[in-house]
A and B are shown apart, each in its own frame.
Chain A
């Protein structure tokens, strides 16, 4: 390995590390997570083994036979060191010692029997029935609600309960609280009508916004192209600001413009139009403003790019067109636009990808509302995995949503390679040694 190779790889390695950590690894993990049922309740690390009272009902469906379930449900009462300790803590050491002397090591099938045993206490009897009931509960031994850190511990516990071996595997699986591999995310996506709704929303969003971006960007670039420099600069600055203003502030301005005591409502009130929230009133309102909000940001990018490629067209061509008697529209139509084909194609493909996957402005503007009318695919992924008001964040399902976008992203960005004259780009460095 020569010095140049070493320097090259050395110079590249910090960036490479970052790319591996925050691009490659997440791409792989998105695939992996999409095939899991990972969520807040399973945690992201390994889980534990636990059967809760409420789990009992779903056990038969998981393949555990009724008698095993009954064994789990039917509790035993035992006077043992551990239960006595609990009893001692609440009812005093003396009583515990007496009970141990009387019934140490005994076990009872139901609570009544246990209560009877408690009645045997003579030195300091528990007189209240309610207290006796509570005391009896302390001797109850059951694995329900108990957490076992390993599979072995759980199996040992259910074996001790007398659960037949035939049911142990199914029960162990059902008791696992961590995440497991599954394809149910994709089945769910396929079945849920909402999925198609989100996909349709995304398509609508991309098409409308893109049309606005490209058309409007082109209009801005062409119109400012003909204006005197200072005027053109003013308009460009107005349209450039949405791009650099923080999104939170930018969307806030729109919120102010549209809320029921905002600018539009105030302006329209004298005309007898009821104040409404213009952004959230109906789905149509919401879509209009989502396209406008995103469009004004996107149009500025189009404007900048188109303006610079317009400036690259030699002025003499326009002079020639003028001499030939072409009016402005004809100049635009026959001289300028044909030479803008590449930038337009570029913006279109670039923004298709970014619009398809971005949700920042929608999140801030309508958060998918009203209802879920403006929920696009990317926002659905975010809501499912990262911001769920129900509290249970479904990472696995969210990753399945995201996986679709990741795959589209990879395909489209590979396509994007074609935009570059790759051969030029990888031209060999001219210093060879």
Chain B
């Protein structure tokens, strides 16, 4: 089911948190709303679910206008960060609750709960109470409860935030598997770029109530639309260097040639990812002094302080012989640098 959010505006009292935002999600697609806390991603999710009123704009599921529909009447399943399982009900009762509300016959509820439990692989836990389950199991119950109504849309609000690192990895692929198997249109709200990139078809990166960029994870990583997007994605993060564009990019004693097809004049910001700087690359050189080395096992993170005080970070395969304080002259993969104007927009 296609989701079409148009010119969405949301106010809390006198403060407008989201203004004139549009988002469309294709049927069967899984999209991530990514951004720091307070950027409006959860607000957007709750507006789509119906828990928040939509103050301006429209929301369509397919061709149906659901803008004014109360949450009870929207074909939406939601998985909450803390799972929100009903503590006094067993797993089976939890999953069956949405069906009981629809006044289905007990026999049918039982069979559908069974089906759902098999799908999320908790068939053996149906009699337990939520507090007797592990975090991952609770997550599965929450998923089953959200899906048992066969909703058109699945909304996931930070579903992995409460899990430990290992379970998070497992549930990441599990959620994606379920979404693919059911073919449901899904929206994932997260502040974790890895979650967004690994689970979703597309990412909408949000900042201050606006969508900064919406594209596939690869595209967003390769061609960030702004300095903000470039800085948000990537771990270890991208390095920024202020430079002066005047036929070439000059910063301190260093200079890089202007990449082909870009005409820039005056102050610009160069974005250079650590994996595109180092002795192992081909291209023009930048020199500076090694100021920090952080061994990571397979590779090391090395900070290089440039003569003008700015800093670049490099990822260098382990086994190098770079020492702290040493002056290095390393290559930059020129085709992979990003240039932004003073306002942060991509050049």
- A touching B, CB within 8 angstroms: yes
* Residues in chain A within 8 A of chain B (CB atoms): 3, 428, 430-433
Q: How far is the CA of A431 from the CA of B70 in the complex (A)?
A: 10
Is B110 close to A, CB under 8 A? no
Q: How far is the CA of A431 from the CA of B51 in the complex (A)?
A: 5
| Chain B neighbourhood of A432, CB < 8 A | 51-53
Q: Is the CB of A433 within 8 A of B12?
A: no
* Residues in chain B within 8 A of chain A (CB atoms): 12-13, 50-53, 70-71
| Shortest CB distance A243–B (Å) | 33
User: Chain A residue with minimal CB distance to B47?
Assistant: A432
User: Chain B residue with minimal CB distance to A4?
Assistant: B70
| Shortest CB distance A12–B (Å) | 21
Q: Is the CB of B12 within 8 A of A428?
A: yes
| Shortest CB distance A432–B (Å) | 4
Interchain CB contact (< 8 A) of A430 among B13, B50, B51, B70: B51
Of the listed residues A3, A431, A432, the one surrounded by the most CB atoms of chain B closer than 10 A to its CB is A432
| Chain B neighbourhood of A431, CB < 8 A | 51, 71
Q: How far is the CA of A205 from the CA of B258 in the complex (A)?
A: 87
| Chain B neighbourhood of A3, CB < 8 A | 70
| Shortest CB distance B162–A (Å) | 19
| Shortest CB distance A142–B (Å) | 76
| Chain A neighbourhood of B13, CB < 8 A | 428
What would 15 A/B residue contacts be, using CB atoms closer than 8 Å?
Answer: A3-B70, A428-B12, A428-B13, A430-B51, A431-B51, A431-B71, A432-B51, A432-B52, A432-B53, A433-B50, A433-B51, A433-B52, A433-B53, A433-B70, A433-B71
User: Chain A residue with minimal CB distance to B70?
Assistant: A433
Q: A433-B50, A433-B52 are in contact. List 13 more A-B contacts (CB 8 A).
A: A3-B70, A428-B12, A428-B13, A430-B51, A431-B51, A431-B71, A432-B51, A432-B52, A432-B53, A433-B51, A433-B53, A433-B70, A433-B71
Q: How far is the CA of A428 from the CA of B71 in the complex (A)?
A: 18
| Chain A neighbourhood of B50, CB < 8 A | 433
Of the listed residues A428, A430, A431, A433, the one surrounded by the most CB atoms of chain B closer than 10 A to its CB is A433
User: Chain A residue with minimal CB distance to B50?
Assistant: A433
Q: How far is the CA of A54 from the CA of B53 in the complex (A)?
A: 76
Q: How far is the CA of A346 from the CA of B241 in the complex (A)?
A: 56
Q: How far is the CA of A430 from the CA of B50 in the complex (A)?
A: 11
User: Chain A residue with minimal CB distance to B12?
Assistant: A428
| Shortest CB distance B35–A (Å) | 20
Q: How far is the CA of A432 from the CA of B53 in the complex (A)?
A: 6
User: Chain B residue with minimal CB distance to A431?
Assistant: B51
| Chain A neighbourhood of B51, CB < 8 A | 430-433
Q: How far is the CA of A102 from the CA of B35 in the complex (A)?
A: 117
Q: How far is the CA of A352 from the CA of B53 in the complex (A)?
A: 45
| Chain A neighbourhood of B53, CB < 8 A | 432-433
| Shortest CB distance B13–A (Å) | 8
User: Chain B residue with minimal CB distance to A430?
Assistant: B51
Q: How far is the CA of A431 from the CA of B71 in the complex (A)?
A: 9
Q: How far is the CA of A3 from the CA of B13 in the complex (A)?
A: 21
Q: How far is the CA of A428 from the CA of B12 in the complex (A)?
A: 9
CB-CB nearest 8 A-B residue pairs: A432-B53, A433-B70, A433-B53, A432-B52, A431-B51, A432-B51, A433-B50, A430-B51
| Shortest CB distance A221–B (Å) | 34
| Shortest CB distance B189–A (Å) | 15
Q: How far is the CA of A38 from the CA of B262 in the complex (A)?
A: 95
Q: How far is the CA of A80 from the CA of B35 in the complex (A)?
A: 105
| Chain B neighbourhood of A428, CB < 8 A | 12-13
Q: How far is the CA of A266 from the CA of B181 in the complex (A)?
A: 89
| Shortest CB distance B106–A (Å) | 28
| Chain A neighbourhood of B70, CB < 8 A | 3, 433
| Chain A neighbourhood of B12, CB < 8 A | 428
| Shortest CB distance A339–B (Å) | 30
| Shortest CB distance B181–A (Å) | 31
Q: How far is the CA of A432 from the CA of B51 in the complex (A)?
A: 6
Q: How far is the CA of A230 from the CA of B24 in the complex (A)?
A: 64
